[in-house]
Chain A
Amino acid sequence: MSGGQPLRIILAKVGLDGHDRGIKVVARALRDAGFEVIYIGLRQTPEMVVEAALQEDARLIGVSLHSGAHMTLLPAVMDELRRKGAEDIVVFGGGIIPAADIAELKSDGVAELFTPGTPLTDIIAWVRENVEAVPT
């Protein structure tokens, strides 16, 4: 791990839905895998998520939503990061997101999207390979 510090990850539910089963399972799995996970909870706006990531000096933001608002709220997170000059923070997401939307979100800068049925080991491996290995 870079600099001996565990990699810090902000996890959040953005939007209005309260389906937090998935993000809690992911939070626990990432924590058990040795990352420092801060789950900031439900109904976070894009602004609140980016603010939390800056405050906590997080390298990664993971957001979950199941309400169908991903094409509005994920781009809003990316816009807010650009506005704050914090494009180095890596954003990933999870939820019920159709394939066509995934391509569009990735072209907007979202690094990865995990859909239902993804093994936790894949998510952990992705964080290790794509973020932890890259020096800040």
Chain B
Amino acid sequence: MGTVLVLGYGNPGRLDDGLGPALAERVAALAVPGVEADANYQLSVEDAALVAEHDAVVFADASVSGAEPFSYTELEAEDGTSFTSHHVDPRQVLYLAQTLFKSRVRGFLLGIRGYEFNEFDERLSAQARQNLDAAAAFLEQHLPTVPPVDGVGTTG
């Protein structure tokens, strides 16, 4: 059995932007052997080193306009140029993990739909919390392995 990393990212002080870290917190509380959970404000290049140590990584992020309650897709490593900030695209983290650290890690993106982002407050909107519950239940039923992409009736 391989190891799985659930990596949530977002700013919990920006309402639903905290969905990713909230999911990581849920997973950490499960304490499933072989499953590691981590969170940060945003993805960064050094996450490639951590990702490379695992067989699979589930990136968990808030989604502004994606499917409800969440979307779940497998990612292809990508050497694109879409650097807007210190925030790095998860496909590029995968690329760095595979290129620099010779990892064969597979990557998945769990985009949890959020609704409120543009205020300073550490809470999730009611609908986002429901979406978080659904995403957490989806992951929980499959851990310590990653869910199959076509394994549930998500619309993403």
Q: Tell me, yes or no, whether A binds B.
A: no
